[in-house]
Amino acid sequence: MRILLTNDDGIHAPGIHALYRTLCSLGEVYLVAPERPRSAAGHAITLHKPLRLTAQTVADGIPGHGCSGTPSDCVSLGLEVILEGRCDLVVSGINAGANLGWDLTYSGTVAAAIEGAILKIPSMAISVTLEGGADIFDFAPAAEFAAELAVRMHQNPLPENTLLNVNVPAISRSELQGVEVTHQGKREYFDRIDARTDPTGRPYYWLGGSLREETPDPGSDVHAVLSNRISVTPVHLDMTAYSLIERVAGWELG
């Protein structure tokens, strides 16, 4: 198996190194990752400046290429330039932090897997989440699960235009309560803008906010990880709200 490995936390992030070491048991792994952290880059691509790939060795001996662009750029360049178009699987992660619910649209981790799907390569995004109450990231169970899932995806290719988004609670193997195939849940934040004043008296802002505590929807990704289960969400590239086509057509626009 030829695997393209990327992330949005950057080429020096421990999550991608854990994944590299585990996936090597399945075949040839090519690491192409942003040369600096690009979390929340979404699906941005770089169109107006040159992109560079720099061969380097990270984490005491892992060969890879740092890319000056976004996670999505890493997939495009990795696939065409480094793997010369021959790729069986794109894996993005392991992200340090959840990619659940509506946060998928902000996520560079998920966007890289979406780019893989657009380029017709089976793709998964994988994240470790502290949602269940853990306070440190342990990437080992997630890396093992990614390898298991990679084999299954290779044996049973998913239809085109789809990918898998995986979230693994950061708890020990013995505490994990299995795997749940889920739907995308909801995440809402409040107090999203923190307005401050700089020493010269001018306002500045931090985006962020706190998660609104709601009882999560059973069957959702959020519910699964809060129940100490690994969440696997099949994701479709088609964002159409089919139930609204008739209603909006009924406005007889134009």
Which residues contact Mn ion (rule: CB under 5 A)? 8-9, 39, 95
Strands 62-67 and 53-58, by their bridges, are antiparallel
CA distance 150 to 1: 9
Q: How far is the CB of 251 from Mn ion (least distance, A)?
A: 40
Q: How far is the CB of 62 from Mn ion (least distance, A)?
A: 18
Residue number, 158 or 211, with CB nearest to Mn ion: 211
Residue number, 41 or 164, with CB nearest to Mn ion: 41
Whose CB is nearest to Mn ion? 39
Residue number, 9 or 88, with CB nearest to Mn ion: 9
Residue number, 95 or 167, with CB nearest to Mn ion: 95
Tokens of 91: 């894996």
Q: How far is the CB of 155 from Mn ion (least distance, A)?
A: 29
Residue number, 8 or 115, with CB nearest to Mn ion: 8
Residue number, 26 or 74, with CB nearest to Mn ion: 74
Q: How far is the CB of 71 from Mn ion (least distance, A)?
A: 9
Q: How far is the CB of 22 from Mn ion (least distance, A)?
A: 19
Q: How far is the CB of 39 from Mn ion (least distance, A)?
A: 3
Residue number, 39 or 233, with CB nearest to Mn ion: 39
The full DSSP string for the chain is -EEEEE-SS-TT-HHHHHHHHHHGGGSEEEEEEESS--TT-TT----SS---EEEEEETTTEEEEEESS-HHHHHHHIIIIISTT--SEEEEEEEES---GGGGGT-HHHHHHHHHHHTT--EEEEEEE-TTS--S---HHHHHHHHHHHHHHHHSPPPTTEEEEEEEESS-TTT---EEE-B-----EES-EEEEE-TTS-EEEEE--EE---PPPTTBHHHHHHTT-EEEEEEES----GGGHHHHHTT---
User: In angstroms, how far is CA 92 from the centroid of its own chain?
Assistant: 6
Q: How far is the CB of 24 from Mn ion (least distance, A)?
A: 22
